[in-house]
Copies of this chain bind each other. A is one copy, B any other.
Amino acid sequence: VSDEIATRPGGARRAVNSREVARLAGVSQATVSRVLSGHPNVAPSTRLRVLEAIDASGFVPNRLARSLVTSRSSTIGLVVSNITDSFYAELAEALCAQATEANLSVVLCNTQQDVDRQRDYLRLLVEQQVAGIVVASSMADAPYIGELVMKAFPIVLVNRLVNDVTADAVVIDNVSGAMKAVGHLASLGHSRIAFIRGVKSTSTSQDRESGFWAGLEASGIPMQSGCVLEGDFSWSGARQAATAFTSLDPRPTAALCADDATALGFMDGLANRGLGVPGDCAVVGFDDIRLASYWSVELTTIRQPISEMARLAMQLLIRRVNGQALPPEVIVLPAELVIRSTCGAKSHQRASFAAVS
């Protein structure tokens, strides 16, 4: 269980502490502490002596000790399912920026979609006394999160919600986003539309699928069987979906994908089978990761305002940490359809990404 490793390795002598600094400066340890925390009651001359002693000794304050005594932490946790997924990388970037702004460190937990691992990470973060946790749960059923929220532990859900958990959250309206996407496709004349799922256990995949069905109904498109294909939010999973797609009969003329990675992988798979986008199949993604806007891609998608979500998440977290027992606040941002070229709605004289000329 105890695999911790020494903070001061073999050769190194023990780090200097504030007492040694005090001795060096000829003051009490309490005074050093006062200088460190910028307490007003320190004479300019002593402050100077202390600062010199700090410099001379190479003293580095121990945050662990400080946190232990103050019960305040300068660390938060970020739990995501896959940091190599552009969406989460961009989220991590934005959240780190926000955290830095607030003088907070971020412990990154990459669950790889593993339920047990997510639980373990959460527990570990709590043991580490993080001030709070921002989590995009790998699964809609994640009981341990509910327990933490119940204990009034500061948790903010982001992007993905969790069943039976009422906590602060920042999400977009996934259902209406998917409906907008279907509406867009329908308006372009498509009536055979496929949906490529993400990881089925996530709230995002579920909600987007609901929106897909609702969108079909709203557009008066009859339901077809077999038009929902499995995916897993990964490029490779979506490539397999593309294979399945090509053998559908009648083959849909459009596909709504559970996220942009899925859309990209799906298009990769289509291209591999000689099918063009949007000619043979219109494609809509979800997220609007940076890659989606590049010229060779120009993916029509539902936008998630990632930076804004990170900003709001941090705001909720800090509010929760400082606040009294506030009611949970769920922020649902509107889902915006970004029309680019993969549905043919906009003409785009696209060459190839890496064209064989």
**Chain A contacts to B: CB under 8 angstroms:** 1-12, 14, 37-38, 58, 60-68, 70-75, 78, 82-84, 86, 89-90, 92-93, 96-97, 100, 102-110, 112, 117, 123-132, 151-154, 235, 239, 265, 267-269, 271-272, 274-280, 283, 290-291, 294-299, 318, 320-325, 341-342, 348-357
In the complex, chain B residues whose CB is within 8 Å of the CB of A357: 275-280
Chain B nearest Cβ from A136, distance in angstroms: 15
Please tell me if the beta carbons of A71 and B355 are within 8 angstroms of each other in the complex: no
Chain B nearest Cβ from A303, distance in angstroms: 17
17 pairs of residues in contact across A and B, judged by CB atoms under 8 Å: A4-B131, A7-B67, A7-B72, A9-B154, A75-B107, A78-B108, A105-B124, A107-B108, A271-B350, A271-B351, A271-B353, A271-B355, A272-B296, A274-B351, A279-B356, A279-B357, A297-B354
Taking CB as reference atom, which chain B residue is nearest A10? B324
Please tell me if the beta carbons of A290 and B350 are within 8 angstroms of each other in the complex: no
Instruction: Given A72-B5, A72-B6, check contact A354 B283 (CB 8 Å).
Output: yes
In the complex, chain B residues whose CB is within 8 Å of the CB of A295: 239, 268-269, 271-272
What would 8 more interface pairs be, CB under 8 Å, given A235-B294, A276-B357, A277-B354? A3-B102, A4-B66, A10-B325, A60-B126, A62-B127, A62-B129, A96-B108, A341-B354
In the complex, chain B residues whose CB is within 8 Å of the CB of A58: 151
Taking CB as reference atom, which chain B residue is nearest A126? B60
In the complex, chain B residues whose CB is within 8 Å of the CB of A280: 357
Please tell me if the beta carbons of B104 and A117 are within 8 angstroms of each other in the complex: no
Assembly of this chain: how many copies?
2
Please tell me if the beta carbons of A103 and B3 are within 8 angstroms of each other in the complex: yes
Among A66, A267, A357: residue with most chain B CB under 10 A? A357
Please tell me if the beta carbons of A96 and B83 are within 8 angstroms of each other in the complex: yes
In the complex, chain B residues whose CB is within 8 Å of the CB of A67: 4, 7, 64
In the complex, chain B residues whose CB is within 8 Å of the CB of A112: 97
Chain B nearest Cβ from A198, distance in angstroms: 18
- What 9 pairs across the A-B complex have the smallest Cβ distances? A276-B357, A279-B357, A353-B353, A352-B352, A11-B325, A3-B103, A4-B72, A10-B324, A276-B355
Considering the chains assembled together, what is the distance between the CA atoms of A10 and B323 in angstroms?
5
Considering the chains assembled together, what is the distance between the CA atoms of A275 and B83 in angstroms?
33
Main secondary structure of the interface of A (DSSP, over half): loop
In the complex, chain B residues whose CB is within 8 Å of the CB of A153: 12
Considering the chains assembled together, what is the distance between the CA atoms of A267 and B352 in angstroms?
9
Please tell me if the beta carbons of A107 and B104 are within 8 angstroms of each other in the complex: no
Please tell me if the beta carbons of B352 and A271 are within 8 angstroms of each other in the complex: yes
Taking CB as reference atom, which chain B residue is nearest A82? B93
Chain B nearest Cβ from A102, distance in angstroms: 6
In the complex, chain B residues whose CB is within 8 Å of the CB of A322: 5-6, 9-10
Taking CB as reference atom, which chain B residue is nearest A65? B68
Considering the chains assembled together, what is the distance between the CA atoms of A97 and B112 in angstroms?
9
In the complex, chain B residues whose CB is within 8 Å of the CB of A278: 356-357
Considering the chains assembled together, what is the distance between the CA atoms of A58 and B127 in angstroms?
12
